[in-house]
């Protein structure tokens, strides 16, 4: 099963050189770790220098890319609305990431507790 590593995992990995809960290096080498547009934007938005941005961008762009389409965003909006009606508010970006993972039958690797509210991702 492919792995979609959330930005929380990449940020932890970049800060410490280690991924909490998993060692992703073998999966990255085998091409099993993917990225999507929202995660790419979240990770790259936190870089401190142009050099860091270029290095990080080249590494992240080498990963398999899971693209979003119009349906992805419609489904993400529906998920967001459904959660809100249940009294749960999580960032829309996390609903988009969750939807991309579900559409691509990926395991979502995250340390962000927001995803626990999404029925498919319970931690």
List, for residues 68-118, the tens digit of each pLDDT value.
999 999 999 999 999 999 999 999 999 999 999 999 999 999 888 888 888
Average pLDDT of the residues of the chain: 87
Quote the CA–CA distance of 83 and 90 in Å, as a whole number: 8
d(CA 15, CA 118): 27
What CATH number is given for 3-117 in this structure? 3.40.50.1010
Distance, in Å, from the CA atom of 63 to the CA atom of 43, rounded to the nearest integer, reads 14
**8 Å CB contact between 98 and 76:** yes
Q: In 70-101, which positions are buried (b, 16+ CB within 10 angstroms) versus exposed (e)? A: eebeebbeebbeebeeeeeebeebbbbbbbbb
E-state strands within 6-89: 33-36, 65-66
pTM for the complete prediction? 0.86
> What b/e readout covers 36-69, taking b as 16+ CB neighbours within 10 angstroms?
bebbbebbbeeeeeeeeeeebeeeeeebeebebe
How do the domains of the chain map onto residue ranges?
A: 3-117
Rounded to whole angstroms, how far apart are CA atoms 57 and 38? Answer: 14
Higher local confidence (pLDDT), 68 or 46: 68
pLDDT band at residue 122 using 50, 70 and 90 as cut-offs: very low
Tokens 């770790």 belong to 33
């Amino acid at each position: 099963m492919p792995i979609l590593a959330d930005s929380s995992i990449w940020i932890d990995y970049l800060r410490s050189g280690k991924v909490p809960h998993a060692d992703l290096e073998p999966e990255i080498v085998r091409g099993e770790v993917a990225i999507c547009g929202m995660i790419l934007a979240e990770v790259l938005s936190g870089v401190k220098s142009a050099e860091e941005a270029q290095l990080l961008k080249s590494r992240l762009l080498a990963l398999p890319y899971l693209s979003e389409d119009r349906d992805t965003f419609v489904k993400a909006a529906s998920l967001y609305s459904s959660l809100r009606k249940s009294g749960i508010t999580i960032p829309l970006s996390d609903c988009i990431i969750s939807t991309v993972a579900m559409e691509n039958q990926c395991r979502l690797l995250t340390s962000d507790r927001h995803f626990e509210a999404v029925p498919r991702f319970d931690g």
